[in-house]
Amino acid sequence: MQSKKNILVTGGAGFIGSHLIKLLVNKYPQYRIICFDKLTYAGNLENLTEVETAENYTFVKGDISSEENVAKVFHEEEVTDVIHLAAESHVDRSISNPSQFIETNVLGTTTLLNEAKKSWSSVENLFYHVSTDEVFGSLGKEGFFNEETSYDPKSPYSASKAASDHIVRAYGHTFGLSYVISNCSNNYGANQFPEKLIPLVVNNIKNSKPIPLYGTGDNIRDWLWVGDHVRAIDEIFHKGKRGETYCVGGENEWSNLDLVKLLIHLTDKHLDRKEGSSLGLIKFVTDRAGHDFRYAVNSRKLMEELSWKPSLTPEEGMSQTVSWYMENTEWMSRVTNGIYMDYYHKQYLKR
């Protein structure tokens, strides 16, 4: 039996946060799970309807960059632990508006850390920072990131996440705050906002709209099913060594072009279209500025120390994901509203 905890999950209404909250609420009825989220364009309470009436779940609307909001939730909810996911998370947006990423990811993380430092006196209280492998920069065709890799972030997004990783470690070193950090590769699955490659592509195939591929389509990403990432977070939160870092990856590398072809195959099949009939939708567009070539992660430490491994094969994961988007067209229509269309036009119209 685990001890009583009041866990603040920041960014809990986003893609990964909502999957994590559903896991924690169902698996740990003795914990109180507080979703703390500003509900930006990426936050969606519809992702959490399944748990909204659970007795051990509460939603608090708030901004991690507001000292007042953060102090209030810590005191009213008697927060014992933080799993910090709230962030601006999209690289393209960080290119068009870097300052917002510094404000949320750097200053917001610092605001949370200051409150944790003020409110907590025990090493039992844990600050868990959920971070990205993009802090390590870009790989060539060979090699993998691991816990020893030097930081070399290249985009305003990854630089802001790198800064927040460093600040978390500095609070651990200087003030004795208990922390863990995980750096994970690209996630995919249900409820991902369709600015990210996979839901954007599936939605465009369904609507017979052009599929924008940046540059040559040769850039490589390692994809992990979101359900496996939140299982890793659960393991690391409970059993990870305090003051350490864990790399999380899917051992599932795809060039963007090959991945898009797989998504076309799966989506066309789902829609009973002729095999490959959507291949003509692929449109090579101007490359992303500073586009990182390849990410790949060695998760051996997590596998050996905490016995974690991905539960789904890439084929199972991608197939389930495509089916989810095909079966949840109302979710997609609601998130691709006017605000999304303004973003979409600005991002792609002149490419």
> Minimum distance from CB of 286 to ligand NAD (Å)?
23
Q: How do beta strands 6-10 and 244-248 pair?
A: unpaired
Within 264-293, which residues bind ligand TYD (CB under 6 A)? 288
Our CB check for ligand TYD shows the closer of 105 and 219 to be 219
Decide if 212 contacts 175 (C-beta within 8 A): no
> Could you tell me the two tokens for 121?
């006196």
Our CB check for ligand TYD shows the closer of 69 and 192 to be 192
Q: Is residue 131 near ligand TYD by the rule CB under 6 A?
A: no
> Minimum distance from CB of 178 to ligand NAD (Å)?
19
Q: Which does 213 bind (CB under 5 to 8 A by kind): ligand NAD, ligand TYD, none?
A: ligand TYD
Q: Which does 39 bind (CB under 5 to 8 A by kind): ligand NAD, ligand TYD, none?
A: ligand NAD
Q: Is residue 336 near ligand TYD by the rule CB under 6 A?
A: no
Q: Is residue 256 near ligand TYD by the rule CB under 6 A?
A: yes
Q: Is residue 205 near ligand TYD by the rule CB under 6 A?
A: no
Catalytic amino acids?
A: 133-134, 157
Question: 173 to each of 161, 178, 236, 279, how far by Cα in Å?
Answer: 18, 9, 19, 52
Decide if 198 contacts 332 (C-beta within 8 A): no
Distance of CA 7 to the CA centre of its chain: 18
> Minimum distance from CB of 228 to ligand TYD (Å)?
17
Q: Which does 250 bind (CB under 5 to 8 A by kind): ligand TYD, ligand NAD, none?
A: none
Residues contacting ligand NAD: total by CB under 6 A:
30
Interface pick for ligand NAD out of 43, 194, 212, 250 (rule CB under 6 A): 43
Decide if 219 contacts 256 (C-beta within 8 A): yes
Task: Convert 196-212 to b/e letters by CB count within 10 Å (16 or more is b).
Answer: bbbbbbbbbbbeeeebb
Our CB check for ligand NAD shows the closer of 110 and 131 to be 131
Question: Dihedral, CA atoms, 166, 171, 172, 174, nearest 10 degrees?
Answer: 110
Decide if 309 contacts 251 (C-beta within 8 A): no
Calpha distance 121→202 (Å, rounded): 48
> Minimum distance from CB of 13 to ligand NAD (Å)?
4
